[in-house]
Amino acid sequence: MSAPAVTITGMGLLTPVGRGVETVYGALLHGRSGIVKPPADHPVANSVELAGILPPIDPGKIASGPDGKVMDRTVILAQLAAADALADAGLLIGDDRGRAGEELDNVDPDRIGVIIGGVGGMATLEQQVLARAVRGRAAVSPYLLTGILPNMPAARVAIRFGLRGYTSSVGTACASGAQAIADAVRLIRSGEADIVLCGASEAPLFPTFAETFANARALARGWDDPAEASRPFDLRRNGFVLSEGAALLVLESAEHAAARNAPGYADVVGYGVNSDAHHPTAPRPDGQGAAACMRRAFASGAVRPEQVGYVNAHGTSTKLGDVAESVAIGLAFGDHQPAVSSTKALTGHMLGTSGVVEAAATALAVNTGQVPPTYHLDDPDPACPVDHVRKEPREIRLEYALSNSFGFGGQNVSLLLGAASTPEKRVPRVGTTDQQ
């Protein structure tokens, strides 16, 4: 018996280029960057030259009263993304601040899972350590643990919306969000869940976390125009741009979605997850680990490489990473080379969240036939010999597409996406650069 098809029926995207499916995808197609010089009053103003900062949000909608004082920003962002994703999937009714369980209609909360990746509440930890250094033991909050534990975004989302199925966090660095999606596919295929809300939430824009990357000289620097600083695969690239964001997808068995008349954006057809087993921070330069991961995704979806027309690359804009991924794509695809682009040119690197936003962008490329380019790729590095989509979107009728995410420790995840299996397809209106 074949595994059930797994369809994306909802997206909640909070990114530096905007919020919501059409706004984000429109920005990625048409080149609206979310990278800025941090304003003087921002926590990282003296730590980094550039950052991808979210548009203003109202945390009061999620974290009002005493509870809000102990809720890390990662949790607030996760809950906002969850509300957006559930509403987009047609799973919210009435006020999204209703009590747990009141928002769900025609579904079983015991069969809805939550998997959210990320590094946890590191900003809360930094604040508490500084407070203790100044004021001593009395300054340490009894709520510290619920502020910093990496499972809190998933737990708080489950509590808020009354989702009583399998709940977990994923901590595989920058591959966390993509691995949450892979884990969700496994749950649905195994019959353990009908629906899984999955993705990542990251709030890394605070001094200590940002400065570790700055001191390692991993961040882009020396750019007069912030929008040009993130330039994956370009000869002039000199590092990535650290960004914040949260993104959650509603994954659902196509049969369950059809039963409630929910249209799908695209299917997650297969996935690959493996390890380079090479180095704590550097990718394998020969690309063998990442190539094997892509091949696992093909095998998982019973798809041949030549059926895959597009790769949304991890493409962070680092010297080593972009070259290693390009080599890996060449190994995995052989004579058939797909179109390749990196949307981090506009969003910067949202750590674990990046893989979720990029999976969403890949799903939308399959859905609409419009592939977002790598902006600011003026002079492609000869060491990255792939079929770059650059300067403007490319129209491609895609049978399948791949989204890559790689993380420290040699974590590799590749997600294979194809057309939605639901009777009704969800085709978004392509946004424009002036949408907010």
Q: Which residues contact 264 (CB under 8 A, 6 or more apart)?
A: 7, 8, 9, 252, 254, 257, 420, 421, 422, 424, 425, 426
Candidates 256, 314, 376, 388; catalytic one: 314
Cβ-contact 326, 29 below 8 angstroms: no
Beta bridge partners of 170: 117
Candidates 174, 198, 293, 384; catalytic one: 174
The residue assigned the tokens 């304003």 is 39
Helix extents (H) in 279-426: 288-300, 319-333, 344-347, 352-368
What CA–CA distance (Å, rounded) separates 125 from 338? Answer: 43
Residue-wise pLDDT for 90-120, tens only, equals: 996 434 443 334 445 568 999 999 999 999 8
Q: What per-residue confidence (pLDDT) applies to 252?
A: 97
To the question of domain 7-266 being in CATH 3.40.718.10, the answer is: no
**Residues composing the chain:** 436
Residue bearing the bigger pLDDT, 143 or 279: 279
Q: What per-residue confidence (pLDDT) applies to 212?
A: 94
Span 373-377, mean pLDDT?
98
Q: What per-residue confidence (pLDDT) applies to 436?
A: 41
Cβ-contact 90, 103 below 8 angstroms: no
Residue-wise pLDDT for 48-88, tens only, equals: 999 999 988 877 777 666 666 678 999 999 999 999 999 99
Q: Angle at the Cα of 406 (from 403 to 412), degrees rounded to 5?
A: 85
pLDDT above 60: residue 245:
yes
Residue-wise pLDDT for 402-424, tens only, equals: 999 999 999 999 999 999 999 99
Span 154-180, mean pLDDT?
95
Q: What per-residue confidence (pLDDT) applies to 102?
A: 45
pLDDT-based confidence at 40, cuts 50/70/90? very high
To the question of domain 267-418 being in CATH 3.40.47.10, the answer is: yes
**Is residue 278 annotated as a catalytic residue, yes or no?**
no
The DSSP 8-state label assigned to residue 425 in this structure reads: B
Residue-wise pLDDT for 316-334, tens only, equals: 999 999 999 999 999 999 9
**Is residue 336 annotated as a catalytic residue, yes or no?**
no
pLDDT above 70: residue 157:
yes
What CA–CA distance (Å, rounded) separates 143 from 230? Answer: 37
What CA–CA distance (Å, rounded) separates 240 from 200? Answer: 19
**Is residue 349 annotated as a catalytic residue, yes or no?**
yes
Whether 7-266 shares its CATH topology with 267-418 is answered: yes
Q: What per-residue confidence (pLDDT) applies to 63?
A: 66
What percent of the chain is predicted at pLDDT more than 70? 93
Q: DSSP 3-state helix, strand, coil percentages of the chain (rounded to 5)? A: 35, 20, 40
Span 250-277, mean pLDDT?
96
Q: What per-residue confidence (pLDDT) applies to 144?
A: 84
Q: What per-residue confidence (pLDDT) applies to 64?
A: 61
Tell me how many helices (H) and strands (E) the chain has. 12, 16
Structural domain boundaries of the chain?
A: 7-266, 267-418
Q: In one letter, which amino acid is 337?
A: Q
Candidates 30, 256, 349, 388; catalytic one: 349
